[in-house]
Amino acid sequence: MRDLMQHWEMRVSHIIDHAAKYHPRRSIVSRDVEGSISHTDWAGIRDGALRTAQALAGLGIRPGDVVGVMAWNTARHLKVWYGVSGAGAVLHTLNPRLFAEQLVYIINHAEDRFVMVDPDLVPVLEAIADKLPKVERYIVLTDAAHMPETSLRNASCFEDLIASVDGDFRWVEGDERDPCGICYTSGTTGNPKGVVYTHRSNVLHALASNSADMVGLKSADVVMPVVPLFHANGWSLGYAAPMAGAAMVMPGRDMTPAAIHEMLEMGVTTTAAVPTIWLGLIAHMRANGLRLSTLKKVIIGGSSCPRAVIEAFQKEFGAHVYHAWGMTETSPLGTICSFTPEVLALDEEARLDIQCTVGHPPFTVDLRITDDEGHELPWDGETQGRLWIRGPGVVQRYLKFETDATDDDNWFDTGDIATMDANAYVRITDRSKDVIKSGGEWISSIELENAAVAHPGVAEAAAIGVPHEKWGERPILVVVPAGDTAPDKRDVLDLVGRSFARWQVPDDVVFVPELPHTATGKISKLELRKQLEKMNYSLPAG
Ligand code: ADP
């Protein structure tokens, strides 16, 4: 009786086929790189993807070849997204904000044969092209009228290329375990590491992400990924939205609060981005008396979401926040904070506290917390430990590594420190490398930061440990003031003191005009520590 059901390779081309066949006219609105707003639908995206695949095959791209893509979130990018993997090639997402050396490293390491690039990002590649000997061809994602002059080798114009083929192409078939996409982790230390998603991992992950307690997209949704498609697999929205038959709004490259607000008002029901984007948008909406007329769901992850952001969306702007946690290595969704019956039974304030956790995992994700020796720790909401994850959307081995990234039972050490409570809600308290250890006890830098940004005079805050003779380390806060004048240090520390024991309250507040960030918008503590060293910072006496 074994194996009597159909075998259907889980390839991502099925996703775009499904969207184009059953939801062909669902609209895709895009702010294109030329500045104009364009309108297409899933049938149009599929047609463009087929033409892309056909054109790439015509230019010699073969199954397994790697094609780099450096582009903002636009309709064209969606065509390329499915066109590259539909040609059997591997889509390597390139973050234009990476340092030049990191871009050189990842393009060479992944052996990109072609690179497709938005016209405004051409200079980023021109600056490093002489260090990319293996890239044979560059395709600029624009039309003939906007094609820039460029020194890039064999540069061609995307719209001309796809107009030169007829779209009569069949997706390249293959095994569901074939590589589909590559995304490198930012690599705050050492070289970036490549995570190679398979077709299977992407399909399974999007299915899990679309389950009702998770991102849960529906055909009636209009989804706007503010998170770039090049950040951690685009949080899977490029797969989950067409899988659900949802409409999309693609915001393009303009990430100013005004532009994001304008695009959200195009009927968007679900959106997703890192907290800093939302801090900017909320300030802009407050300053200009703006509302959100259709938005229902805001997915926030990538770094810890301050409670004030959750409250603002829910109490002032009528959209519910889903605080999520994930990593490039986990496709990325690990957990999301939706309400189980135990949490629904709580009052509003207690639920808001729970929303500062990152929630619980979907089916396909397995979690545990352990001490440094690997012993499992209790789910009591108090005990902090290393967070481990396993499942079909989790990395097994980085690209070109000799050994697995997991232990023998497939557990992957996330490098995050977390607690879990009796309802399996995960609270991320730190990155293990950012942990502050004072007098042998851990102090959560994330919780200190979230407490500090609740002060109206604080725009952004970073908590770091500074060496101390007696205590090993003492925490300090490095703060970007919200206005022109810095708030009173004592005031900020008093506010923090309301939710922390006295020994956990930082010893000092240092004001800076800005904090250093990584290419994915996280505060770079490594860089910040270097800056403090340069300033010869020392703790106040006493
Ligand atoms: P990169 O290192 O390239 O920026 P990732 O997006 O893979 O890429 O970063 C994953 C890390 O981001 C996680 O391991 C965790 O430390 C942090 N992170 C993600 N979501 C959250 C969250 N909701 N709260 C706290 N930290 C988060």
Q: Is 262 an annotated catalytic residue?
A: no
Any ligand 1 atom below 6 A from CB of 197 = no
| Residue 443 β-bridge partners | 436
Q: Bridge partners of 115?
A: 68, 138
Q: What is the mean pLDDT of residues 351-361?
A: 98
Catalytic residue, chosen from 74, 185, 406, 419, is: 185
329 is catalytic: yes
Residue 256 burial (CB count, 10 A) = 11
Token pair 């899933």 is found at: 42
Q: What is the CA radius of gyration of the chain?
A: 23
Clarify whether 171 is annotated catalytic: no
pTM (predicted TM-score): 0.95
Using CA atoms, how far apart are residues 302 and 376, in angstroms rounded to an integer?
Answer: 26
Which CATH superfamily groups domain 255-433?
ANL, N-terminal domain (3.40.50.12780)
Domain borders along the chain are 13-195, 255-433, 437-534
Tens-place pLDDT, residues 44-83: 999 999 999 999 999 999 999 999 999 999 999 999 999 9
Domain 437-534 has CATH 3.30.300.30: yes
Confirm whether 13-195 and 437-534 share one CATH topology: no
- Amino acid (one-letter) located at 56: L
CA-CA distance, 136 to 79, in Å (whole number)?
Answer: 21
Compute the average pLDDT of residues 360-377.
Answer: 97
Instruction: State the distance from the centre of ligand 1 to the C-alpha of 414, rounded, in angstroms.
Output: 9
Looking at domain 13-195, its CATH architecture is: 3-Layer(aba) Sandwich (3.40)
Give catalytic status of residue 270 as yes or no: no
Single out the residue of 505, 491, 388 nearest to residue 447, CA to CA. 505
Neighbour order of strands in the sheet with 194-198: 155-157, 137-140, 112-117, 66-70, 90-93, 179-184, 194-198
Produce one character per residue of 38-58: b if its CB has 16 or more CB atoms within 10 Å, e if not: bebbbbbbbbbbbbbbbbbbe
Q: Is the CB of 357 under 6 A from ligand 1?
A: no
Q: Is the CB of 137 under 6 A from ligand 1?
A: no
Torsions phi, psi for 97 (to 5 deg) = -85, -5
Which residues neighbour 497 within 8 Å (Cβ) at sequence distance 6 or greater?
505
| Cβ of residue 522 lying under 6 Å from some atom of ligand 1 | yes
pLDDT for residue 189: 67
Q: H or E element: which one contains 209?
A: helix 199-209
What pLDDT, in 10s, does the model give residues 414-463?
A: 999 999 999 999 999 999 889 999 998 889 999 999 999 999 999 999 99
3 Cβ partners below 8 Å, 6+ apart?
none
| 485: Cα separation from own chain's centroid | 33
CA atoms within 13 A of residue 361's CA, in its CB half-sphere:
21
Pocket test for ligand 1, best of 325, 432, 518 (most atoms within 8 A of CB): 325
Q: Is the CB of 355 under 6 A from ligand 1?
A: no
